[in-house]
Structure 1
Amino acid sequence: MAKEQTVWTPQSPTTGATPQIGDQFIAIGQQTLVLRRPYLEVSALMAQMYALVVIVFFPIVFRISLNVLIRPDIETSGVVLILVSFAFICGISLFLFINIRRLKMSHIYFNRRTQHIYGKEGHRLYEGDWHGVQASPRSFVDGSNVGAMTRFRLEMLVPSVRPLPPHRFWQKRLPPETFLVRIMSNAQTDPRTDYVAQVWEYIRTFMEHGPDTLPIPTEPNWWMLPLHQVVLTPRQAFRHYVPWRTGEPGERQGKKNWLLPVWALLFPLTISVSLCWWVVCCLLGVHPLVSPVEALEGETAPLVTIEMASKGVRP
């Protein structure tokens, strides 16, 4: 079980765990390591669901309201029905915009040249000092999916090197001028600290010695691709959902021969949902944030992604 009192710092002795990373990996270079921030998949999935509810129910609510309003004698029950319907749509829209706001947060960048950690929320840049990091394995209850489940992650308390806005109400317990960086465990539901320590050692090894001795994942999680990328273009969506193999990295995870007929049956639904979400993202300006320039200081070549690593490319 992860111990709450465990604290790792860059100056601490090694934990003994083998440096390893999994689904958290985004890209790596000689100076920069990019890891996926938690909750991206949940935020993208919930935003898609709320957007679809609005798209499906708004015309229905509008039609019902119009039918009620054109009646010569509007009863109280009809007015209540209109108010309840529009309150429902407004509530769903509020949750949609909350999740879309979360999608406008960047990944987490570790730069070994500057020895700083970077993150971005909208136009706000967070920058912290690696040498002052205090990391701990933590558990939390994830109630965002069906039911509640205990998950495990690495939490890093990072001293900021630039002025921060006031902490939000859920961050009041943080020390002044600090922010939290969270990275999921390699086995999110396994309570053993070793899986969290693997992530910590991967980050620390990179910050101290660079990428040369670190294993780079060579196959992405194909099932999670639509959520990891937040939104697929029509071309990407077609390539991902068509009921035959298109050479997409890792697609044999989901496009086994016996599953292809299932994908053929689901194709009209999956492509329609993906296209609707793409339209919503275009209208609301939802797209992955551009990497902060500060986070890429010292890089002279493009960062190596999983897709590039699968072809033998190394930093």
Structure 2
Amino acid sequence: MANPQTVWTPQSAATGASPRIGDQFIGMGQQVLCLRRPFLEVSVLMALMYSVTIVGWIPFAFWLQWTSPKIPTEFGAPNPWFEALFNVLLYAAPIVCFGPFLALNLRRLKMSHIYFNRHTQRVYAKEGHHLYVADWHGVQATPNSFVDASNVGAVTRFRLEMLLPSVHPLPPHRFWQKRLPPGMLWFRIMSNAQTDPRIEYVAQVWEYIRVFMAHGPEGLPIPAEPNWWMLPLHKVVLTPLEAWRHYVPWRTGEAGEHQGKKSWLLPFWAVLFPLTMSVSLCWWVVCCIFGICPSAPPPEALEGETRPLVTVEMTCKGIRP
């Protein structure tokens, strides 16, 4: 991997890598390029797991209480205060244990993707109700690595880190942002090969963004097919109809469906269908309750764009910006 001191700017010479993008791609127009915010998949997966655990614990607690043997009479009358405290702990245990982590991941899902606008030469992102706007001309991009311990085990992953000057005054940095220089924003885009240490995969992402901001979408390759396996996490939440189309054990014509619904895998999808469908419906209900949905682009980020962005699903039909 490159030395951490490697810095690319819009004024520096080309890296020599071919512009290329992968699952980071969300949409592209003549003026706007939208790339996926890192760790969206992890936030969705962890929030889904916590939600299913909390919701699934309630019928389990009812069953546990219903099937528990009664205290023998020789031990005396049960203490009502103890019983009440036990019931509260029994039903509230998963909320106490997993509630804070669920709230943290749900909050992360309120963040938007990253928008590069060549018309205004600015970069936009939104967190809740706060809009972050950065000046593209002041970007300092660095290939870097980090240890991802969010899933089982620890994996070293590689990404493009961009330090940009903010256009507007920033709110006070949170404790994990204290090392940032004052008035600077930090955007991160994953490498095309997240676990491969070769710098060329990070340079491909940088060249893709740099060429778009300088010359527009002409000549830039667009991913022709989405990652079908990651579709439920990329979309944040599937509607019941989308979940049915994605999980049924037969082919429904989804883009990239051949990646996971090979003929020999269909029996496994049939066995898993009750579980996958019920989990998806549970997560959909939680998202409806908390108002979780894919973040809409900030209107400021689309300044100068006259048509909707071309998504990966549209490129599968041959549509280009």
Match of 2:78 among 59, 73, 77: 73
Partner of 1:229: 235
Superposed, 1:160-179 pairs within 5 Å as: 160-179=166-185
* Native 8 Å contact 2:54 2:94 kept in 1: no
* Native 8 Å contact 1:47 1:96 kept in 2: yes
C-alpha deviation, 1:90, in angstroms: 1.4
Superposed, 1:105-254 pairs within 5 Å as: 105-254=111-260
Aligned length: 314
Other structure's SS at 2:33 match: strand
C-alpha deviation, 1:108, in angstroms: 0.3
AA in 2 matched with 1:49: M
C-alpha deviation, 1:88, in angstroms: 4.0
Partner of 1:56: 56
**1:2, 1:259 → 2: CA distance?**
40
**2:57, 2:193 → 1: CA distance?**
38
C-alpha deviation, 1:181, in angstroms: 0.3
Partner of 1:26: 26
**1:6, 1:154 → 2: CA distance?**
11
Other structure's SS at 1:2 match: coil
AA in 2 matched with 1:91: C
Cα RMSD after superposing both structures:
2.0
In structure 2, the CA distance between the partners of 1:95 and 1:114, relative to structure 1 (3 Å rule), is: same
AA in 2 matched with 1:12: S
Superposed, 1:255-270 pairs within 5 Å as: 255-270=261-276
Other structure's SS at 2:160 match: strand
Partner of 2:11: 11
| Per-residue Cα deviation, 1:72-96 (whole angstroms, up to 9, x for no partner) | 4239986775565434431211111
* Native 8 Å contact 1:2 1:139 kept in 2: no
AA in 2 matched with 1:41: E
AA in 2 matched with 1:74: N
* Native 8 Å contact 1:58 1:89 kept in 2: no
Structure 1 spans left out of the alignment, 5+ residues:
none
C-alpha deviation, 1:132, in angstroms: 0.3
**2:41, 2:84 → 1: CA distance?**
39
AA in 2 matched with 1:73: P
| Per-residue Cα deviation, 1:24-52 (whole angstroms, up to 9, x for no partner) | 00000000000001000000000000001
TM-score (norm 2): 0.93
Q: Which moved more, 1:207-216 or 1:256-265?
A: 256-265
Match of 2:311 among 275, 290, 305: 305
**2:177, 2:67 → 1: CA distance?**
48
Q: Which moved more, 1:78-87 or 1:234-243?
A: 78-87
In structure 2, the CA distance between the partners of 1:6 and 1:236, relative to structure 1 (3 Å rule), is: same
**1:132, 1:116 → 2: CA distance?**
10
Identity %: 67
In structure 2, the CA distance between the partners of 1:66 and 1:166, relative to structure 1 (3 Å rule), is: farther
* Native 8 Å contact 2:53 2:94 kept in 1: no
* Native 8 Å contact 1:142 1:150 kept in 2: yes
Structure 2 spans left out of the alignment, 5+ residues:
72-76
C-alpha deviation, 1:97, in angstroms: 1.0
C-alpha deviation, 1:60, in angstroms: 3.8
In structure 2, the CA distance between the partners of 1:273 and 1:87, relative to structure 1 (3 Å rule), is: closer
TM-score (norm 1): 0.95
C-alpha deviation, 1:179, in angstroms: 1.2
AA in 2 matched with 1:160: S
| Higher Rg | 2
